[in-house]
Structure 1
Amino acid sequence: MQEHLKFYINGEWVDPVTPKTIDVINPATEETFAKISGGSKADVDKAVAAARAAFPKFSQTSKAERVELLKKILTVYQKRVEDIAQACSSEMGAPIGLARSAQAGAGMGHLAATLKSLEEMEFEQQRGSSRIIREAIGVVGLITPWNWPLNQIAAKVAPAIAAGCTMILKPSEVAPITGVLFAEVMHEAGVPPGVFNLVNGDGPSVGQVLAEHPGVDMMSFTGSTRAGIIVAKAAADTVKRVSQELGGKSPNILLPDADFETAVARGVYACFNNSGQSCNAPTRMLVPADKMEEVLAIAKATAEKHTVGDPTKDATMMGPVVSEVQFKKIQGLIEEGIKEGAKMITGGPGRPEGLDRGYFVRPTIFGNVSNDMIIAREEIFGPVLSILPYDTEEEAIAIANDTVYGLSASVESKDADHALRVGRRIRAGQVRMTATAWDSFAPFGGYKQSGNGREFADWGIHDFLEVKAIVGYEGTANL
């Protein structure tokens, strides 16, 4: 049994003010494998005080100093990649191959992208008789989710460091061990005391307290739209900036000229990646009505190639979903799809054959879905794909936009210019074109109820900066 019962505050591992433990469950075994401490307002107060004390000096460090610090963090992170991957696999069920390449790899990618962006960024410019200065916003509260823990920790911590901010991180209490390991990375890299602080705990006891705290200047939150609304309301009384990356119900439009054999398979894999637990998963596949039967056959064959099981085995493609709560929610929504009359193509309720414990979900595909069905409107956050027909391109675009979300979308076509024209009309923060690789330098964030603000590389750094105008200065100092 692992025990991680201390918080990282002011450069030291410290005991919680009031001891309280939280069990961390391995979703593949349903057994407790670790314990963490749950924080309180008193712990948040200590962390905020440390961050505020560190801010005046750290905010005045030079860009060169922060570049060197990020380089050290990246170097230490690279040494700990296997530890991070193993922890990620245990705490949220990611297959170990995915945990190494994508989960731990995403953190490394964001550190590297932020480092490169910081090296190229200018924080001052002269505009006529005014000096425009971009400077650190202050003390920031960071709340990160369980589904891509290192992706979101690195995508917030790295740009906050680059901007000159000090911070308090609250990882998800469902998958907190990777956050503890990240704190160890920060300590070994020599991050100055108080610049980075970690307080574990649940949303009401730590997250909401951070959002309400008058000593916190900004909140950066990734999670559900429901929780994001709570954070925004809690932050409103102190008029702090709130940056949010929230839910999604992303459309994947296959235009009539797409290569359906490859496009459908690619869409299925993208939807089921990470057991479907990605806010930008393309969970609504929109296909020409006259291609529906062909698409369903390809999708069924692709889904049934997915090996579901023990995440410690290299051959496993899909592990469990993260918790009993998520498992029950997904099962309920699959049942809802059946009741609403969607055509079950493969999968369905219950665990995959041969698995009688663990929060494993059968890779599930529904065909002939209409966009008013619950399975087409709610974020399921599991390996469930809805395939919807359309008759015209205009109808496809209308269906794609008929959602409260606007985080991501995909367009498949052999004609890149055609895909671009369609992509321009989709109300989403990111539109991925045919076979596009992940881009850590592209802005990531949503329209509508998918949030506000943008993350990754220089876009993320700008989120943590304030803009100051010094009017009447016409010199050239430091330019």
Structure 2
Amino acid sequence: MNDLTINTAIQTALPATFLGRHLIDGNWVEGAETFQRVSPSHDTVVSVSAKGDAAVTADAIAAARKAFDAGVWSRISAKERSAVLLKVADLIEANVERIAVQETLESGKPISQALGEVAGAADLWRYAASLARTSHGDSHNSLGADMLGVVVKDPIGVVSIITPWNFPFWILSQKLPFALAAGCTVVVKPSEMTPSSTVMMGELLIEAGLPAGVCNIVLGHGEPVGSVMSTHADVDMVTFTGSTAVGKMITEASAGTLKKVALELGGKNPQVIMPDADLENAADAATFGIYFNVGQCCNSSSRIIVHESIAEGFVARVVALSRKVKFGDPMDPDTQVGAIVTAEHQTKIDGYVKEAVAAGAKLELGGGALSVEGLGPQFYQPTVISNVTPDMPIAREEVFGPVLTVLTFKTLEEAIALTNDSEYGLSAGIWSNDIHTCLEYARHAKAGTVWTNTWMDGYPELAFGGVKQSGQGREIGRYGYDEFLEVKSLVMRVGRDSRKPWVKASA
């Protein structure tokens, strides 16, 4: 462990403990009970939040329903909605540091990555604003001389938005502005581990002039808050990002009211490394893909599938780079990998590693807790494991930590088969200088996103989501926007009535 790159604690003044409240019908609401968040990196209380119950959740849903039915948002012009979203984008950019610092303290991610996440979210709001003004339906003028067909898109109604702890501000911004652009009203529940940036978003929405009741925020746990949001009859849609297990629970819970459900769930994402690839760039991308956001990322490239002829050298490259990645104090701008979100999750990560080694896998680097001087115990070493077989749990299940597994292949067909030999299908990638190889892989990889000679590049214009047990529906892009709309057909007879009567008039 002495040859790793570790950033010890720096002297930095932490902000005052953040006090989070519910936002219901435009009012900040205290909670009868509260809960605390202890920073995984600094082991100190960084937020105290109101703890929601079934009653306060029902109040939030009622406020969203009332606002939607009154049309204070759903029936105003797209120009007016767009103007509010653009104000929010400007306000996000004016508050980047304040939001990012709180997110770093609650999640354990490096401050540099939190700053990028928050600042980048503004672009999602601006793109959603553009969709509000450019969205349109269809007209059909070819149905006959006296018929006109028009297809319109209406907002789906009240949307429950449930977000995770790993990218609390970014993932909220993958959902909320698109729902608002469509004319929906919403109830938001952030993870109880990272609630504060969502409350800060609520402050910005009020400042931007969003009408009361259009966006409501309830803090608390999945039971009862998330459960009520998933089952309530006045909710028309649930959009959730998180684990596949919880996604299945939400689908089952929502079945009683047949509400629409959109899910962005787990991933076991591979990068395939061909012999003709740019190995220097591929190794750098593999290293980035596994350690970004402490490996706690649904898009983490936790599987490397490398051609057997170059496997040994490629693994050596990744191990050498891993030793240079800066682990440690997430408040240090130079840190690249911060803390694991909870002690329980760290134990789970370590369990996967120990089980794999016991089954015959080779530990190339790491494997175990990482001690960072001056900070708490929730850090894990950069870990690379080779000699992994496809049947091992570490090769099949989402570890969600800085742990890279290495598998090998002989042919492209075998690489594609290994890619698809998974319950998940969120993203995949291939590295090759042969465009035909890249296209062949992209056509056959069962994933919502396929990257070629890059990893984790994304844009607001491009839809994001998975197949199989990685979820259903799409986020961002025009396809993500359309998730919040219902299609309605208007069939109109115009001009002279030329119908033949179905019932003849009596003589």
* 1:25 match: 38
Superposed counterparts of 1:14-413, under 5 Å:
14-16=29-31, 19-56=32-69, 57=71, 58-101=73-116, 103-126=117-140, 128=142, 129-352=148-371, 354=373, 357-413=376-432
Q: For 1:152-172, what per-residue CA distance to the aligned partner results, in whole angstroms no more than 9, with x for missing partners?
A: 101110000110000000000
Q: Which moved more, 1:41-50 or 1:126-135?
A: 126-135
Calculate percent identity across the aligned residue pairs.
37
**How many corresponding residue pairs?**
472
Q: Could you tell me how far apart the structure 2 residues matched to 1:317 and 1:278 are?
A: 14
Q: Could you tell me how far apart the structure 1 residues matched to 2:42 and 2:189 are?
A: 25
* 2:489 match: 469
Question: Out of 454, 462, 466, which is 1:442 matched to?
Answer: 462
Contact 1:110 1:457 (C-alpha < 8 Å) held by counterparts = no
- The 1:205–1:290 alpha-carbon spacing in structure 2 relative to 1, beyond 3 Å, is same
Contact 1:81 1:100 (C-alpha < 8 Å) held by counterparts = yes
The 3-state SS of whatever aligns with 1:466 is strand
Contact 1:342 1:367 (C-alpha < 8 Å) held by counterparts = yes
Give unmatched runs, 5+ long, in structure 2. 1-15, 143-147, 496-507
Query: How far 1:354 moved relative to its partner?
Result: 4.8
Query: How far 1:474 moved relative to its partner?
Result: 6.3
Amino acid at match of 2:49: I
Question: Out of 428, 453, 456, which is 2:473 matched to?
Answer: 453
Query: How far 1:322 moved relative to its partner?
Result: 1.0
Q: Could you tell me how far apart the structure 1 residues matched to 2:390 and 2:371 are?
A: 27
Q: Could you tell me how far apart the structure 1 residues matched to 2:197 and 2:356 are?
A: 35
Contact 2:20 2:196 (C-alpha < 8 Å) held by counterparts = no
* 1:8 match: 23
Q: For 1:234-277, what per-residue CA distance to the aligned partner results, in whole angstroms no more than 9, with x for missing partners?
A: 11000000000000000111122111122022111111100001
Q: For 1:362-405, what per-residue CA distance to the aligned partner results, in whole angstroms no more than 9, with x for missing partners?
A: 01001121111111011000000001000111110000000000
Query: How far 1:15 moved relative to its partner?
Result: 2.3
Q: Could you tell me how far apart the structure 2 residues matched to 1:427 and 1:224 are?
A: 19
Q: Where does structure 1 differ by over 4 angstroms across 4 or more consecutive aligned residues?
A: 352-356
Contact 1:307 1:317 (C-alpha < 8 Å) held by counterparts = yes
* 2:498 match: none
Q: Could you tell me how far apart the structure 1 residues matched to 2:462 and 2:45 are?
A: 38
Contact 1:118 1:458 (C-alpha < 8 Å) held by counterparts = no
Q: Could you tell me how far apart the structure 1 residues matched to 2:310 and 2:18 are?
A: 54
Amino acid at match of 2:384: I
Q: Could you tell me how far apart the structure 1 residues matched to 2:255 and 2:449 are?
A: 27
- The 1:119–1:338 alpha-carbon spacing in structure 2 relative to 1, beyond 3 Å, is same
Query: How far 1:4 moved relative to its partner?
Result: 2.3
* Pairing 1:415–2:441 present: no
- The 1:134–1:113 alpha-carbon spacing in structure 2 relative to 1, beyond 3 Å, is same
Contact 2:265 2:471 (C-alpha < 8 Å) held by counterparts = yes
Amino acid at match of 2:114: A
Q: Could you tell me how far apart the structure 1 residues matched to 2:422 and 2:308 are?
A: 20
The 3-state SS of whatever aligns with 1:221 is strand
Give unmatched runs, 5+ long, in structure 1. none
Q: Could you tell me how far apart the structure 2 residues matched to 1:72 and 1:348 are?
A: 46
Q: Could you tell me how far apart the structure 2 residues matched to 1:105 and 1:358 are?
A: 29
- The 1:127–1:465 alpha-carbon spacing in structure 2 relative to 1, beyond 3 Å, is farther
Query: How far 1:14 moved relative to its partner?
Result: 1.5
Query: How far 1:303 moved relative to its partner?
Result: 0.6
Q: For 1:171-212, what per-residue CA distance to the aligned partner results, in whole angstroms no more than 9, with x for missing partners?
A: 000111111111111111110000000000100110011101
Q: Could you tell me how far apart the structure 2 residues matched to 1:354 and 1:72 are?
A: 42
The 3-state SS of whatever aligns with 1:133 is strand
Query: How far 1:151 moved relative to its partner?
Result: 1.1
The 3-state SS of whatever aligns with 2:75 is coil
Amino acid at match of 2:173: A
Contact 1:106 1:150 (C-alpha < 8 Å) held by counterparts = no
TM-score, normalised relative to structure 2: 0.90
Q: Could you tell me how far apart the structure 2 residues matched to 1:369 and 1:401 are?
A: 16
- The 1:382–1:257 alpha-carbon spacing in structure 2 relative to 1, beyond 3 Å, is same
Q: Could you tell me how far apart the structure 2 residues matched to 1:221 and 1:473 are?
A: 42
Q: For 1:284-304, what per-residue CA distance to the aligned partner results, in whole angstroms no more than 9, with x for missing partners?
A: 010111111111110110111
Q: Could you tell me how far apart the structure 1 residues matched to 2:93 and 2:493 are?
A: 44
Q: For 1:77-120, what per-residue CA distance to the aligned partner results, in whole angstroms no more than 9, with x for missing partners?
A: 1111111111111110111111111x213322311222233333
The 3-state SS of whatever aligns with 1:338 is helix
Amino acid at match of 1:272: Y
